[in-house]
Amino acid sequence: MFESHFGFTASPFALNPDPGFYFASKGHGRALAYLQYGVHQREGFIVITGEIGSGKTTLVRTLLAGLAEGGEVVAAQVSNTQLDSSELLHSICNAFGIPIAGHSKSHLLGALEAFLTGLAARGQRALLIVDEAQNLGLREIEELRMLSNFQFGNHALLQSFLVGQPELRQMLRSPSMEQLRQRTIAACHLGPLGEAETRSYVEHRLNRVGWTGNPAIDDGAFQAVHRHSAGIPRRINLLCTRVLLAAWLGEGNRIDAEAVESAAEEMRTEMLGDDELPAQEPPARGPALVKKLP
């Protein structure tokens, strides 16, 4: 909608994780370096945690995009983690594309080990990335640890990266997780972006779609974006999309702090409800908006 108005080649703040928009903040750069280090080590667990919307999935997809160029590492990702241990094994086999002859645990383990051994014989190795790992139970996490015992000579057949929300860190502190902690070679928590990084993040995404200064953005607008988003990338994306939409509807080419405040308040009202608020007239360009929609 507003993309052509501002001369953008795509939506700069789409919510779908896209490695093409990866922003190497201090925290994200460190986390990606840990993941790459883990791949280089060829064994052990890497744990990445972060709040909802902190950019974990984009980070993982950025890693996977880099691995796809080499071919040595065969990576699979499991994102649906509301599973018991047998369902988890089944999901892992599906993620690697392993044909399954039976559904018993012994069949699943046998099929997985045979697949991993075949990879090793061809000079390849397997990497499993478990997203939303905080939804796993302690028993299921222990199952993942047991899979790391698969060996081909002196080399581990399967390496696993666990990615999840902060609750995952609490789970791994459990006394029963001592063996997994001893196999974790690095762990990193993604914190929010600072004010300066928030500005750099917004400009980075705009530049990726051909921003040439239209709309112009005041310094105060960047500060307001950080204040209302708390530096969480997904919140930044939501807010900035709304601000750009409002600018397009108003046929404006400058965004100031007041515009960000207005968009943030509108979003807050939508989330909390406005039953007690007086009705407002629709935007002046409402009919034009309807015409532009497919």
Mean pLDDT of 194-201: 98
Based on the domain organization, do 84 and 171 belong to the same domain? yes
pLDDT at 142 exceeding the cut of 80: yes
The pTM assigned to this predicted structure is 0.86
Last residue of a domain, one of 190, 222, 241: 190
pLDDT tens for 199-255 read 999 999 999 999 999 999 999 999 999 999 999 999 999 999 999 999 999 888 899
CA–CA distance, 117 with 125 (Å, rounded to integer): 9
Residue 100 has pLDDT above 90, yes or no: no
The pLDDT value given to residue 94: 93
- Same domain for 46 and 181: yes
Examine the domain organization and report whether 153 and 258 are in the same domain.
no
> Does 17 reside within a domain?
no
Q: Examine the domain organization and report whether 164 and 32 are in the same domain.
A: yes
- The enclosing domain of 119 has a CATH number of 3.40.50.300
Residue 223 sits in which domain range? 2-11+194-292
Residues 62 and 147 in one domain: yes
pLDDT value at position 86?
A: 85
What is the residue type of 44? G
Q: Is pLDDT larger for residue 292 or for residue 186?
A: 186
Domain presence at residue 19: no
Query: Is residue 20 one of the residues assigned to a domain?
Result: no
pLDDT at 1 over 90: no
Residue 103, pLDDT score: 74
Question: Which residue, of 160, 190, 220, is where some domain finishes?
Answer: 190
**Residue 69 pLDDT:** 72
Q: Residue 292 is which amino acid?
A: K
Structural domain includes residue 204? yes
Q: Is residue 55 part of a domain?
A: yes
Order of strands, sheet of 45-50, starting from the edge strand that comes earlier in the sequence: 73-78, 125-130, 158-164, 45-50, 184-190
The total number of structural domains in the chain stands at: 2
**Does 213 lie in the same domain as 132?**
no
Shared domain check, 179 and 88: yes
Of 224, 235, 236, nearest to 262 by C-alpha is 224
Per-residue pLDDT tens over the stretch 16-43:
999 999 999 999 999 999 999 999 988 8
Which of 168, 190, 212 marks a domain boundary?
A: 190
Task: Based on the fold, state whether residues 167 and 79 are members of the same structural domain.
Answer: yes
User: Do 288 and 174 reside in the same domain of the chain?
Assistant: no
107 within some domain: yes
Place of tokens 């969480």: 232
Indicate if 80 and 222 belong to the same structural domain.
no
Tell me what pLDDT residue 271 has. Answer: 81
Average pLDDT over residues 152-159: 88
pLDDT for res 275: 52
- Asked whether residue 198 is assigned to any structural domain, the reply reads yes
pLDDT at 220: 97
Say if residue 181 is in the same domain as residue 278: no
Residue 212 sits in a domain of what CATH number?
1.10.8.60
Q: Report the percent of the chain where pLDDT is more than 90.
A: 76
Residues 36 and 144 in one domain: yes
